[in-house]
Amino acid sequence: MRILTCVKRVPSPGAKITLTADGTAIDTRHLGFTISPHEECAVEEAVQLASAHGGSSTVLTLGPAEAEEQLRNAIAMGIDHAVLLPIEPDEHGVAEWDPRATAHAIAEAVTGLEADDGPFDLLLFGNESADAGNFQVGVRVAEALGRPVLDGIKDIEVADGTARVRRSVPDGFTVHQLPLPAVLAVKEGINLPRYPAMRGRLIAKKATIRQLQPTPRPGGLRRLRLRAPEQQRTETVILGSGADAAPAAADVLEEVGLL
């Protein structure tokens, strides 16, 4: 079984998001980078499926050269191979393409990878990216490749060339069956992603990352400006110490509806 998981490098902000002076990007000087929790679950799911069914897993991202960090983190979690579709930063210093251009580049890369090494049975995405939240790339890739797609996936079982999946809906979940190859966008909660092992980190450090140059295509979405909402200043109130604090703590719990 061959699985491809697609991820996106995003800033890992604190409570307050600071924007660059021109308001077109997040100020990332003090920030680390990560992938969305959904994508972490997609990586974990790929590792588990490849382990359970045999085969291999690959992680792919379209982003700046620094996105190697996210690819190596995925390898440290147990992914076998990594592919980077490198892109240059725009005039605002942001290396990011819109969903249409991104999906096109990924579909192009998948086609190339499959021509070299054989077809992927599953393409996994996070349900949405942690920053833009466009909910588009997975669906657009599926459309481009002509493969069935479902999002909101909370469980995947693979057997006999089909995937049986659970999709969360407001009042519960629905169960679907898709023929493979298929595209699935998974949601946080499908599993508990593992921490990368130290040994895994060392393997990841030495791993080769394959680079495929994506073909730029005009997208339909253009970011004009970001706006950070006003934030309320939080304040810590010390309710007391030891047993003396109990009544006040109980009052607070009651107030927020937990008692």
Partner 1 sequence: MSELPSHASVVVIGAGIVGNCVVGHLAERDWTDIVLVDKGPLPDPGGSTGHASNFIFPVDHSKEIAQLTLESQRQFEEMGVQTTTGGLEIARTEARMEELRRRMASALAWGIDAELIGPERVKELAPFVDTSIVLGAFYTPSVSVVDSLQAGTIQRQRALDKGALTVSANTEVLDVEVDQGRVTAVVTDRGRITCDHIVVACGVWSPRIAAMAGARIPLVPAVHQMLDVGPIPELEATRSEISYPIVRDMDTFMYERQSGGDMEVGSYAHRPILHDPDDIPSIEEAQLSPTQLPFTQEDFDEQMEHALELMPELLDTPGAGIKHAINGLLSLTPDAGPLLGETPEVKGLWSAAAVWIKEGPGVGRVMAELMTDGVAFMDIHGADIARFTPHQRTDFHVKARSREHFNKTYGIVHPHEQWESQRGIRVGPMHARTSALDAVYFEAGGWERPQWYESNASLVAEYGVADRPHEWDRRWWSPIMNAEHLAMRERVAMIDLTAFSIYEVHGPGAKDYLDAVVVTNVDRPAGRIMYTPVLTYNGGFRSDLTVIRLGWDHYRIITGGADWGRDLKWFSDHLPADGSAHLTDVTSAWTTVGVWGPRARDLMAGATSHDLSNDAFPFGNAQWVEIDGIEALMVRISYVGDLGWEVHAPIEQGQHLWDVLWEAGQPHDVVPAGGGVYGGSGRLEKGYRLMGAELESEYDPVEAGLAFPKVKAADFIGKERYLESREREPAAVMCSLTVEDHTSSSGVERFPMGGSPLLTTDGRRLEDAHGRPCVVTSSGSGPSIGKHILLGYLPPEQAKVGQELLVQYMGERFPVVVGSATRHGLFDPDDTRMKS
* Closest alpha carbon to 60 in 115, 119, 1, 102: 102
Q: Nearer Cβ to partner 1, position 8 or 147?
A: 8
Q: Nearer Cβ to partner 1, position 169 or 243?
A: 243
CB of 176 to partner 1, least distance (A): 32
Q: Is 230 in the site for partner 1 (CB under 8 A)?
A: no
Q: Is 31 in the site for partner 1 (CB under 8 A)?
A: yes
Q: Nearer Cβ to partner 1, position 148 or 193?
A: 193
Q: Nearer Cβ to partner 1, position 17 or 180?
A: 17
Number of amino acids touching partner 1 (CB under 8 A)? 30
Distance CA 107, CA 178 (A): 19
Within 65-124, the residues that bind partner 1 by CB under 8 A are 69, 72
Q: Is 198 in the site for partner 1 (CB under 8 A)?
A: yes
Cα-based angle 176, 177, 180 (whole degrees, multiple of 5): 140
Q: Is 257 in the site for partner 1 (CB under 8 A)?
A: no
Q: Which residues contact 166 (CB under 8 A, 6 or more apart)?
A: 153, 154, 155, 173, 174, 175, 176
Going from the C-alpha of 258 to that of each of 50, 89, 147, 252, 255, the distances in angstroms are: 42, 47, 46, 9, 8
The H or E element containing residue 206 is helix 198-206
Applying CB under 8 A, among 30, 222, 225, 227 the residue interacting with partner 1 is 30
Q: Is 238 in the site for partner 1 (CB under 8 A)?
A: yes
CB of 73 to partner 1, least distance (A): 8
Distance CA 176, CA 171 (A): 16
Question: Is there a contact between 125 and 145 (Cβ–Cβ < 8 Å)?
Answer: no
Q: Looking at the chain, which runs of residues are DSSP E strands?
A: 2-7, 10-12, 32-34, 56-63, 81-86, 122-126, 149-159, 162-169, 172-179, 182-186, 209-211
Q: Nearer Cβ to partner 1, position 115 or 198?
A: 198
CB of 236 to partner 1, least distance (A): 4
Applying CB under 8 A, among 21, 32, 115, 118 the residue interacting with partner 1 is 32
Q: Which chain residues interact with partner 1 by CB under 8 A?
A: 12-16, 18, 29-33, 69, 72, 194-202, 205, 231, 233, 235-238, 241
